Structure 1
Amino acid sequence: MDVWKEMKRLHVEQVVFCQEEQDGLQAVIAIHSTTRGPALGGCRMWMYDSEDDAVLDAVRLARGMTYKAAVFGLPYGGGKAVIVGNPQTDKSAAKFRTLGRFIERLQGRYVTGVDLGTTVRDMDWIRLETAHVTDTTGTIMAAGDFTAEMTAYGVFLGMKASAYFLLGSGDLNGRTVAVQGLGKVGFLLCGMLRDAGANLVIADIDSSRVERAVKAYHAKAAAPDDIYGESCDIFAPCALGGVLNDVTIPQLRCKIVAGAANNQLLEEIRHGEELEKRGILYAPDYVLNAGGLIITACELQGLAQADMKRSVERVYGTLLQVFEIAQQEGLQTWQAANRLAEQNLLHP
C-alpha cells in the first residue's frame, strides 16, 4: 500500500508509526483531522495479517471518527490508534505505557480510549504516561457497560428512525431483525430490540454467545455464513467492517441495513449503489454507532450521565436529516451523511 497516496485520498493529517523493541510495541496512530478540535478515537489491539492492514484500519477508522464527530457538530476531530498483537496473550503494562509516551508527544492533538481488544486496565497503564486518555478507572465511561449500552442505544434509535422513514412507523414490535455479531454492543442491542417486541435472528462465530442470546431473548440462531440470507425487516451488522460486498449483498433479504459495525460497505460507491438498486435503505454506520463518541465528548465537557443519554438521542433526528438530504438531492445515504459532516467541517 502507498501510505502517502492513501493519506491523500482520505485527507489524513498525520500518521505516526510507534515502535519499541524492548517492549515489543508495534503501533500506528492516525490523526485524520483536528479542524474542529482534538482528535478523539479509541485504541484497538488486533492480530493484523500485514502492516498494510494495520495502517489502513487506522486511517479508515480515524476518518470515520472525524465524520462521526462532525455530523453531530461536536468540537472534536477523529483519530485512532492500533496496536499489532494478540489482545489475549501479547499485552503488558510496558507496552501500553510506551504507547502513552508516544501519545503524550502529540501534545493533546489525539485523545485515546477503549476500543476493540483493549480494556480499562490498558487505559490506566496509558494514563501513567499521559493525561490524553479516557475510559480510565473511576470515570463514567469505565463504569460497567455504559459505553456499549449507549452505542447500542444509538443503533436502536437509528433502527426506529429507519423504519419510520421507509416503512411509515418507527414501532419495531413484530419486526424481524437479524443481528450479526454478539459482542457487548450486539448483545445489548438484542435486549433493547426484544423489549420493543422485535423478533430476533442472531449469528456469531462464538457459539457460547449465540447460546446465551438464544436463552436470554428467545432468538433464532443462524449460522454465521447464513445470516445474510435470513428474511427480515432489518439486517444489523454488529461485528467487523466490509461485510457488505459482492458476495453478501446478493444474499440480503431485508428492507433496511442498520448496524453498529464500522465501515460496513467494502466499497462505498459501488456497494452503496448495489444496496440502492435492491431497494434496501442503508443507515450510514458512523451516524448510528456514534453513541460512544457522543458520551466521550460529553464526559470531557463534564456532563452528567443523564445528559449523556439525552445527547445520544440526537441519533434519531440526525439520521432522518440524512435520509431527507439523500432524497432531496438524489444522493446515496452515505453520501448524504458525508455532505452533512463536510458542511460542519467547513464551518467549525
Structure 2
Amino acid sequence: MTTPWGLPDFDDHEAVHFFTDHKSGLKAIIAVHSTHLGPAAGGARFWHYAKDEEALVDALRLSRGMSYKNAMAGLPLGGGKSVILADEERTKSPELLHAFGKEVDKLGGRYITAEDVGMSVTDMIEVARSTGFVAGLPNSAGDVGGDPGPHTALGVFLGIKAAVKWALGKDSLNGLHIALQGAGSVATGVALHACAEGARLSIADIDHAKAKKLADRAGGKVVSPEEILSIEADVLSPCALGAILDESTIPDLKVPVVAGAANNQLATPEDGERLLARQILYAPDYVINAGGIINVCTEYLGDGDASLVRHRIEGIPRRLEQIWAEGSETGTDPASVADAMAQRLIGRA
C-alpha cells in the first residue's frame, strides 16, 4: 500500500495506523489527524474499495474533516477516522468487529470510534465488547447516544433552511425544490424534515429501490444518479459519498444553493472557488453535518442530555451565517473561510 507521505491529502497527520488480523479477515486504517483539542473522534467506515490506496486517501480526508468538524462545533475533541476494508461481498462478522475494537483499544483512548457508512448501532455493540473507546451505543428514553444519523439529519435540515434564508430570502422550504443525492439514513431524515415543511423533492440513489421507497414516503420523485447533479432546483443536497463537486460537474449545476450531509463534497480546494464564481452558496460539509458528532460527543463525555444536544445542533445555522458573512466581506469562498477558521482553532493557522 502507498505510504501517506507525499499524498495530497496528507496534512501533517499525527499518526496513521494500519491493522491486519488474518483470523477475522480484518484490514483497517485508523488516521489520527489532530488531538490538539482532545482525543481524536470520528466514526468507522465499512466499505469496499477498488484499491487499497483509495481507503488510505479516504481515511486521510475524513480524519482531517473530523478535526475541522469538531473544532467548528465547539467540541473538546480532535479529529480521527477509521476505515475497515470490506471484501466485495461486504462480509462482516462479530469476530471482525471484535478484532477492530481491540485495535482501537490499543491506542489507549487517543482515538474514539462510532458509526459511519456501513456501520450500525448493533456493530458498535460488538466493537464495545473489545474497547471502551466507542460511542454511538444504544440509548434509553431521554438519554443521548444511539444512532447519530437522525441528529446529523436535523443539523443538515436546519442548515438548508439557513442557506435558503441567506441566498433566497425565504424563511421556509415550503414550495421549494430540493434535489437530494442519496437515500440512506441521513438523507431519509433530511427528506422527511423537508417534506414536512412543504418542500418538493427529487431523489437519486445508486440503489433505485431505496430511492423509490424514500420518494414514496416523502412524496417526491425518483431521478437517475446521472441526472441529479444537473437538475434545476432551489437546493442541491449531496447526502451520499464525497468528491462529487469538481471542474466537470460544477458547470452543470442549476441551483443557487448546495447544502448536504456528505463528507468531502469538494474534490479539490479550487472547487469552492468554482462554486463562488458561479454565485452558488455552499454550506461547508463539516459544519452543516456536525449533528451526529455533537450527539456522540455528548454521549461519550456525559456532559449533558438530549436538550443540550438539540441546543448544540441549533447552533449550526449561526456558524454557517458567520462563515457566509466573512466570505461576503472578503470575497472568499465559504469552504476556504471555514478551513481557515478551523485551522486557527486546532493551532494550525
What's the TM-score bracket when you normalise by the shorter of the two chains? Answer: over 0.9
Residue 7 to residue 38, structure 1, CA distance change in 2 (3 Å): farther
Deviates more, 1:54-63 or 1:95-104: 95-104
2:84 aligned partner = 83
Residue 8 to residue 138, structure 1, CA distance change in 2 (3 Å): closer
1:22 aligned partner = 23
Distance in 1 between residues matched to 2:194 and 2:34, nearest whole Å: 35
Paired residues of 1:45 and 1:86 also in contact (CA < 8 A): no
Paired residues of 2:41 and 2:111 also in contact (CA < 8 A): yes
Paired residues of 1:7 and 1:13 also in contact (CA < 8 A): no
Show CA shifts across 1:270-289 (max 9, x none). Answer: x1122112111111111111
TM-score by length of 1: 0.94
Distance in 1 between residues matched to 2:77 and 2:211, nearest whole Å: 37
Structure 2 residues not aligned, in runs of 5+: none
Deviates more, 1:234-243 or 1:85-94: 85-94
Distance in 2 between residues matched to 1:341 and 1:322, nearest whole Å: 11
Paired residues of 2:9 and 2:60 also in contact (CA < 8 A): no
Paired residues of 1:232 and 1:254 also in contact (CA < 8 A): yes
Alignment of 1:156-305 (within 5 A): 156-269=157-270, 271-302=271-302, 303-305=304-306
Deviates more, 1:207-216 or 1:187-196: 207-216
Shift in Å at residue 7 of structure 1? 8.1
Deviates more, 1:329-338 or 1:301-310: 301-310
Residue 315 to residue 138, structure 1, CA distance change in 2 (3 Å): closer
Once the two structures are aligned, what percentage of the paired residues are identical?
A: 38
Shift in Å at residue 184 of structure 1? 0.5
Give the 3-state SS of the residue equivalent to 1:340 in structure 2: helix
Structure 1 residues not aligned, in runs of 5+: none
Structure 1 letter corresponding to 2:59:
A
TM-score by length of 2: 0.94
Two-structure CA RMSD over aligned residues (Å): 1.9
Higher helix share: 1
Give the 3-state SS of the residue equivalent to 1:57 in structure 2: helix
Distance in 2 between residues matched to 1:188 and 1:240, nearest whole Å: 16
Distance in 2 between residues matched to 1:322 and 1:279, nearest whole Å: 15
Shift in Å at residue 52 of structure 1? 0.7
Give the 3-state SS of the residue equivalent to 1:346 in structure 2: coil
Show CA shifts across 1:14-39 (max 9, x none). Answer: 00000112221111000000000000
Q: How many residues are paired up?
A: 345
Distance in 2 between residues matched to 1:301 and 1:18, nearest whole Å: 27
Show CA shifts across 1:182-229 (max 9, x none). Answer: 101111111111111111111111122222222222212211101112
Structure 1 letter corresponding to 2:239:
C
Residue 8 to residue 200, structure 1, CA distance change in 2 (3 Å): closer
Shift in Å at residue 301 of structure 1? 2.9
